[in-house]
Amino acid sequence: MDGAIQQQDTKAEAQREAVIRVRHLRNQFGPQVVHDDLNLDVWRGEVLGIVGGSGTGKSVLLRTIVGLNKPAAGSIEVLGVDVLNGPDADRRRIEKRWGVAFQDGALFSSLTVLQNVMAPLREHTGLSESLMRALGSLKISLVGLPQLSCGKFPSELSGGMRKRAALARALALDPEIVFLDEPTAGLDPIGAAAYDDLIGELQQALGLTVFMVTHDLDSLYAICDRVAVLAEKRVLVEGPIDEMTKVDHPWVQEYFTGPRARAAQQKGHDR
Amino acid sequence: MTQLSIALEQINDSLRIAVAGEMVTQSLEAVEKGFRAIHPDADHIVFDLSGLGSLDTGGAWLICDLARRASAAGATVTYENVSATQSALLETVAQNIATEIPAEAPPRGFVPWLESLGRRTVGAGRDTASMLGFLGLTLHRLARTLVMPWRLRRAALVSQMEETGFKALPIVALMGFLIGVVLAFQGATQLKQFGAEIFVVELISISVLRELGVLLTAIIVAGRSGSAFTASIGSMKVQEEIDAMQTLGLDPIEVLVVPRVLALLIMLPILGFVADMAGLFGGALMSWIDLGVSPGMFVTRLKENTDVWHLAVGLIKAPFFAVVIAVIACWQAMQVKGSSQSVGQRTTSSVVQAIFMVIAIDALFSIFFSEVGV
């Protein structure tokens, strides 16, 4: 009986393709160990939410996967390429296939929004200026910003608009994987819900894989296919959010069965 | 991965466009021109996407753009062999396609140039007024600190004195020494022609003590500390730390500007004095080596023929330079807006303005001292 279930599981595993595969990752800053023996798989086409208390290294994990932070040990494969020890040429090829939206946007402050979105196109494609402008403006429209904001500088935008512009830049090359660091933090509930819908829509339309660090329970219930909980320096549990309430761990219990979680769950089911 | 290609086929009044390959942003280069060259003058446009591998928003944009142009020309557009996801993507892109992308290149020509000239002129006037206002505000806070010394941030003052003064000692001393050496060397070659080598002592002492020691020290400090002031306070401005201070009831001038101005006020005369002494030492050393003027003779002649006023005339200027450098640097920092680029621009103007003002004030002092005859 057990064997049969296991077989079924492996069959299901074989059908899905891991676009990100993290193995035995160890991150430490001086004596402080952030991750120890952390394993994580992200499947193609899913929206994965990374949750965890403050200081559990959610952002560090994201930064490590995209190569901004060198881990002490472990291996990371993205789209089949070893991003830590593989050849530089492979790495650069992979960089064109992912997009990263940082928490505060990290837009280039000396460029306008449109120029920001065009920057990756300019760097990695040989398209004509007019087509790049057209594609840039399309991305800006896709993330729900008015065309008027094309010529604005990042300092002239509100926090929410900056987040959207950052997403537009992350989507510029039509990547397969999008990394989002707290995409809805600091947005008003309406704006946050709209952003969730936007990510959901884009994910459907463009077939994206989304790796999302978030604290927002509404986002988790609304768009995440799976949730990975970081605690005790590793991925404590991962799975669909409905299963999280059954996990026997004090932090997970408190997180997913608290009053805010119940409200978010209700809202998620109403959608 | 099949090469991206398009094939056109005209059947009666309908144009059949067959797209094959991977229609993704990074390979669009191959077909961009081809798509743009198609003039949809047929009554029916049929897109055949049967050979299409993958499609992303970039590829969808080219198709939608052509479809839009065709509809505008009065043609009907249909898609064949399109999968559900591709059709959803095409629809999403079609909804978001912008008919007009706002131009962002600034207008050129005589009138805009004249306009910007006018703007800059008015801006320069406003800046001067604003800087003088800031100077007044700073002097007021400085005076208040003198009356109420307990309001002074002593820790900030000491750390600024260390940063702007103590740590600048080696470079300032080295610079003074080299100036003395250069003056002795250049003076010697000229004075030898007249057999008046001994006057090299006056040449060195008067030029270093009256002018060069303090002036060059001020220029070094303007480059070293002025830029640091602007960059650090400017970054705080970008991070809204200055706003935070104000909401907490802290006066940014008192907390940030006064310690810096005071630190320079105290340290610049000291640095100037060090530069003077290093200059005399360098000059004496070079006179000894090159002209055979012994250190003993140098000192005797220095005592006899160089009035102590020369030293005073030089050092009197130091506090004025200090205030000018610190106030310009802090004012520029307060003008930082929004971006980190602005911090860089302001830091540059801070150093340039401070050095210019130091030299201008030095010239005014020269005129003043020669008029009063010291």
Whether B107 is covered by a domain: the verdict is no
Mark whether B161 and B55 lie in a shared domain.
no
Q: Which two tokens stand for residue B21?
A: 């390959």
Spell out which residues of chain B touch residue A154, defining contact as CB-CB under 8 Å: 338-339
Whether B115 is covered by a domain: the verdict is no
Whether B101 is covered by a domain: the verdict is no
A140-173 confidence digits (pLDDT tens): 888 888 888 888 888 888 888 888 899 889 888 8
Mark whether B24 and B90 lie in a shared domain.
yes
Between B28, B104, B341, which is nearest A114 by CB?
A: B104
Whether B35 is covered by a domain: the verdict is yes
A147 touches chain B (CB under 8 A): yes
Mark whether B290 and B143 lie in a shared domain.
yes
The residue of chain A with its CA nearest to that of B28 is A127
Mark whether B88 and B128 lie in a shared domain.
no
Between B26, B65, B89, which is nearest A125 by CB?
A: B26
Q: From the CA atom positions of chain A, what is the Rg in Å? A: 19
Average pLDDT, chain B: 88
Confidence (pTM): 0.70
Between B62, B98, B103, which is nearest A141 by CB?
A: B98
Spell out which residues of chain B touch residue A173, defining contact as CB-CB under 8 Å: 25-26
Query: Chain A, 25-54: which have a CB under 8 Å from a chain B CB?
Result: none
Judged by CB atoms closer than 8 Å, whether chains meet at B97 and A141 is answered as yes
Q: How remote is the C-alpha of A232 from its chain's centroid?
A: 21
Please say if the pLDDT value at position A4 is more than 70.
no
Mark whether B129 and B45 lie in a shared domain.
no
Spell out which residues of chain B touch residue A114, defining contact as CB-CB under 8 Å: 101, 104
Lowest mean pLDDT among B48-57, B178-187, B249-258: B48-57
Whether B243 is covered by a domain: the verdict is yes
Between A126, A154, A205, which is nearest B89 by CB?
A: A205
Confirm if A50 and A212 have CB atoms less than 8 A apart.
yes
Instruction: Using pLDDT thresholds of 50, 70 and 90, give the confidence band for residue A2.
Output: very low
Secondary structure element (H or E) that encloses residue B261, with its range: helix B258-286
Whether B112 is covered by a domain: the verdict is no
Nearest Cα residue to A52 out of A249, A225, A189, A264:
A249
The CA distance from A271 to the nearest CA of chain B, in Å, is 21
Domain that holds residue B90: 5-96
The CA distance from B322 to the nearest CA of chain A, in Å, is 33
Domain total in chain B: 2
Spell out which residues of chain A touch residue B337, defining contact as CB-CB under 8 Å: 155
Instruction: Using pLDDT thresholds of 50, 70 and 90, give the confidence band for residue B124.
Output: very high
Tell me whether residue B180 is exposed, middle or buried, using C-beta atoms within 10 angstroms of its C-beta: 0 to 12, 13 to 18, 19 or more: buried
% pLDDT > 90, chain A: 1
CA distance B275 to B286: 16
Judged by CB atoms closer than 8 Å, whether chains meet at B32 and A147 is answered as no
Instruction: Using pLDDT thresholds of 50, 70 and 90, give the confidence band for residue A6.
Output: very low
Mark whether B271 and B357 lie in a shared domain.
yes
CA distance B324 to B362: 12
Mark whether B328 and B265 lie in a shared domain.
yes
Mark whether B86 and B131 lie in a shared domain.
no
Please say if the pLDDT value at position B193 is more than 60.
yes
Cα A131 to Cα A222, B87, B192, B230: the distances in Å are 35, 22, 74, 41
Q: Is the CA virtual torsion A143, A146, A147, A152 positive or negative?
A: negative
CA distance B218 to B264: 10
Query: Chain B, 269-308: which have a CB under 8 Å from a chain A CB?
Result: none
Mark whether B59 and B142 lie in a shared domain.
no
Mark whether B133 and B268 lie in a shared domain.
yes
Secondary structure element (H or E) that encloses residue B160, with its range: helix B154-164
Judged by CB atoms closer than 8 Å, whether chains meet at A134 and B101 is answered as yes
The interface predicted TM-score (ipTM) is: 0.74
B234 touches chain A (CB under 8 A): no
The residue of chain A with its CA nearest to that of B87 is A205
B341 touches chain A (CB under 8 A): yes
Nearest Cα residue to B134 out of B287, B226, B252:
B252
Amino acid B147: pLDDT: 92
Instruction: Using pLDDT thresholds of 50, 70 and 90, give the confidence band for residue A11.
Output: very low
Q: Which residue has the tokens 């807006």?
A: B337
Confirm if B46 and B78 have CB atoms less than 8 A apart.
yes
Whether B211 is covered by a domain: the verdict is yes
Whether B109 is covered by a domain: the verdict is no
Amino acid A271: pLDDT: 57
The amino acid that residue A155 corresponds to is S
Amino acid B2: pLDDT: 63
Judged by CB atoms closer than 8 Å, whether chains meet at B29 and A139 is answered as no
B206-241 confidence digits (pLDDT tens): 999 999 999 999 999 999 999 999 999 999 998 888
Mark whether B247 and B300 lie in a shared domain.
yes
- Mean pLDDT of all residues in B127-148: 93
Judged by CB atoms closer than 8 Å, whether chains meet at B93 and A137 is answered as no
Amino acid B18: pLDDT: 84
Assign residue B80 the CATH number of its domain: 3.30.750.24
Amino acid A5: pLDDT: 44
B56 touches chain A (CB under 8 A): yes
Query: Which DSSP state fits B249?
Result: T
- SS in 3 state form for chain A? CHHHHHHHHHHHHHHCCEEEEEEEEEEEECCEEEEEEEEEEEECCCEEEEEECCCCCHHHHHHHHCCCCCCCEEEEEECCEECCCCCHHHHHHHHCCEEEEECCECCCCCCCHHHHHHHHHHHHCCCCHHHHHHHHHHHHHHCCCCHHHHHCCHHHCCHHHHHHHHHHHHCCCCCCEEEEECCCCCCCHHHHHHHHHHHHHHHHHHCCEEEEECCCHHHHHHHCCEEEEEECCEEEEEECHHHHHHCCCHHHHHHHHCHHHHHHHHHHHHC
Order of strands, edge to edge, in the sheet holding A18-29? A32-43, A18-29, A73-78, A81-82
Mark whether B272 and B343 lie in a shared domain.
yes
